[in-house]
Structure 1
Amino acid sequence: MTLAVAAVVSAASFSPNLANAVSNQEIQQKKNEISNIKSKQSSVQKQMNEADQKIKHLQAEQDKLTQEIKKLDMAVSETSGKIHEKSQQIEETKQNIEVLKQQIAEVQARIEKRNELLKQRVRSLQESGGVISYLDVLLGAQSFSDFIDRISAVTTIFEADKQIIKEQEADKALKKEKEKELTTNLANLERDLKELEQLKQTLNVQISQKEKLMKNLEHQEEELHEEKLALEEEKELLEKQEAAMRSQLQQLIERQKAERARQNTTSNSSSSGAGNVPPITNGAFMRPANGPVTSEFGPRWGKFHYGIDIGKRGSSAPIVAAADGYVFRSYYSDTYGNVVFITHVIDGQLYTTVYAHLESRLVGEGQTVSKGQMIGYMGNTGRSTAAHLHFELHRGPWNAAKSNAVNPRNYINF
């Protein structure tokens, strides 16, 4: 009757804790949520990096366009200068044309005057009945002196006629040359001015197009900056969300540790092997099992022994976790036998502990364990000659070469 009442009281006292018990599934679910958040953060960061690259590319394109627009502006300025110069030349040429026109008018007047003179000579000849015979003039001399005078007069008249004709031909040629020069110069200037005006229009069109493209690039950059700001907000939100989830996860782990500690205390107090459970000690690590050390860390039988062996004492030898951690492997190995691998993070440093040759395993992969929590019983499985615990401690991850293995005595007082 007494035992029954005690059982009822005991069940009543523990039922609230069991109702609020934290399961490994809850912890794993929270870890999965954190992992999803991390994945989203990674995706957001990737998008931010891509946005940065696009912004840099757009800025480079804008710098390139700025240089091109600057060159075009300089070309327009130079062309405008040439247009102004050509316009001045045209004005000067037009003024020269007026001077040449005056000169041509003067030449034309001389030509017309000579023409009139020549017409008069022709009319005189017609009135005299024909062409003057210079021989008749000479033979009509009354004396030798008159003959000489007549020769001089005839020569003078002849040379005068010849000079008039020569000057007439020269003035006609000059007039023709001046008119041609004026026409050519004016045509060339008008052509150059037209080409420069067309070039200026082309350059202005190119500037307009590039300025339009520049505005488009600036608009795209503005949109990318806005997108990046939105991504930064999302990143900040995800970081805060992750921090909150990690806090929740830590609370779940602490609750689970407390629940398991209570369960272990209850279990150990009612177990016949309670005296074989090693007490939880201060420090990062504790003894994983009670019993004598039967083999040390170091050279052994021509090989290197990467752990410490603890012999079995009594009929039942519980094995406990040396520190808070996470079971990432729990299986049967041909060499280790029943073995449990636990990873720990202590003060930012990763450690790995190995518990081999177990008779049975009480924890599975993916399970979180607390320091001093039972994980199995000492046994003689795998390549073992007697019941014992082979315990390894690695500063870092475990590897087949066991290059990270350290002497457990440097961390635990055996």
Structure 2
Amino acid sequence: MKYHPINSALFIKNRQNFASQMKPKSMAIFNSNDIYPISADSTMPFEQHRDIFYLSGVDQEESVLFLFPDCPNESLREVLFVRETNEHIAVWEGEKLTKEAATKTSGIKTIYWLQDLKKVLFEMSSYADTFYINTNEHYRATVETETREDRFTKWLLAKYPAHSVAKSNPILQRLRSVKDQIELDLMQQACNITEKGFRRLLGFVKPDVWEYEIEAELLHEFVRNRSKGFAYTPIIASGNNANVLHYIENNQQCKSGDLILLDVAAEYANYSSDLTRTIPVSGKFSKRQKAVYNAVNHVKKEATKMLTPGVLWKEYHVEVGKVMTSELLKLNLLDKADVQNEDPNWPAYKKYFMHGTSHHIGLDTHDYGLLHEPMQANMVFTVEPGIYIPDEGFGIRLEDDVVIQENGAPFNLMQNIPIEADEIEDLMN
């Protein structure tokens, strides 16, 4: 891995928190992701399943974690299975986890090779009444591929039909949404790497540069700072491309006088950052562009102040909508009649700001978190308002990642990344 080793205290604590929520006489099972094929012998880069990483720190394919906190055999209360390694594998594929390295990474003492899984599972199942299975229940999930976890669950329930079944996901939704300080430090590192990429761009962008050239500059800066690269598919949208919310082609030339919307950020140690900035290709905003930019920035600042413990996500968005409506009126994009006659289910401001303001962020860019439950301290949210005006040929979105505090204003993990319009112009010139 490119990233520095993570303190195993994080994973020990995460397992303890999960185990405390389990039913008596139950065991939970977590699988690594598959390595997905492209064709012939080509594969996509491996990405670890975030749940097994959260609970063990193991960032390797074909790993399986068993948790059975009240198992009568104390040595089987935490069991990690890893792929057996040898000199041949080391030569052809690189170093894999030894049993000793797996313990050092995870803090788990009982490590088996994967080939022993069915034998160990048979013993553990005889003590257990309930299996916790791990399904993807994220509110944005649309999964068509059968995952390694899915295949294992299907086999497990067919092999042991008399066991009860419980779900891991509701426990993980709550646990993963509230960050440990070690996690916050890793996310800060991702944001710091993102800052380096953005500052690099401010001196690079000029008229006639291509969107993909900007993407290349970012990737260079991210990887040289120990990131695998982008936390999500980068959006580098010049001109009217910015009015396509998930524009990812990044294949157009940036013209003088246009704006570039950059929704781009680095990962670090599997933790995401999520940044959006909008900058002028020529290094200077027009009067109209700056007015809209400052309106978006104002909404972002006001929305950030609202992120405090106890706030409900749905109510928060209603309040942000009121601030956005006020700004759109000042910009003459809406008039009073638009607001008075609006559909409550699709307010007038949605014509220019059609997406949500905030989402959880962490191991996933759109991270775990139950949106119907009140916000808590140490949750991390994006704040990302935007105004999109196809008729004027530009769209503006601004986004930072902020940590909810027990008392006081949220802490902005991206506070050092330039955002004020005048500062952007100064740095580009």
TM-score band w.r.t. shorter chain: under 0.3
**TM-score when scaled to structure 2?**
0.20
Q: Which has the larger helix fraction?
A: 1
TM-score under structure 1 length normalisation: 0.21
User: Which structure: larger Rg?
Assistant: 1
